Amino acid sequence: MKQLIAIPERCTGCGRCELACSFEHFKVFDPELSAIHVLRLEREPLDAPLFCIQCGLCAMDGVCPHNAIYRDPNTFSVVIDRARCDGCGRCVEVCPYGVITIDHIEKKALKCDLCGGDPQCVKACPENALAYVDVNEAAYYKRYFFAKLQEKFMVPIVPYPARGSS
């Protein structure tokens, strides 16, 4: 199994990943038709590629009224059957990262499907800020970036306050 990861420190904000994605799926270069989004943080020197982490919340029972969202057994990506999608936006509402959108051409849900296991965004990135890696390597990066957040914001890893503390 593989997973798409981002290494934000390497991202220059060029947007090639967005263009590669829109071209792969719509045969046009249009960042608004991309399932990957490069976010520039205004007060920090950081551009961050954001994409679906394939959590599956949008595929849960009761979200899509037409059952147009399913998990691909080969890539484990969550895929939208655009022939069944009516663009209701319920999947957009449940997405915790804001990476599912409604496209402006067909008015249907748009999210990363990992290009069937060959993500074009990875190939287009000149700085190697995106990678499609083994899940164990992806797990390492997740731990690394979580630790970096801890360092930056010094958030204690304590699930609940100790009993008796105020």
Q: What is the pLDDT of residue 44?
A: 76
| Range name among 47-56, 119-128, 140-149 with the lowest pLDDT average | 140-149
pLDDT of residue 156: 57
Find out whether 52 and 35 touch, Cβ atoms under 8 Å: yes
Question: pLDDT tens across 110-135, in order?
Answer: 999 999 999 999 999 999 999 999 99
Q: Is the pLDDT of residue 45 over 80?
A: no
The one-letter amino acid at 60: M
pLDDT in tens, 21-42: 999 999 999 999 999 999 987 7
Half-sphere exposure of 37 (CA within 13 A, CB side): 17
- Joined together, the tokens standing for residue 132 give 């499609």
User: How does the average pLDDT of the chain come out, rounded?
Assistant: 91
Q: Tell me, what DSSP letter sits at residue 96? A: T
Stretch 83-101: mean pLDDT, rounded? 97
* Rounded mean pLDDT, 74-92: 97
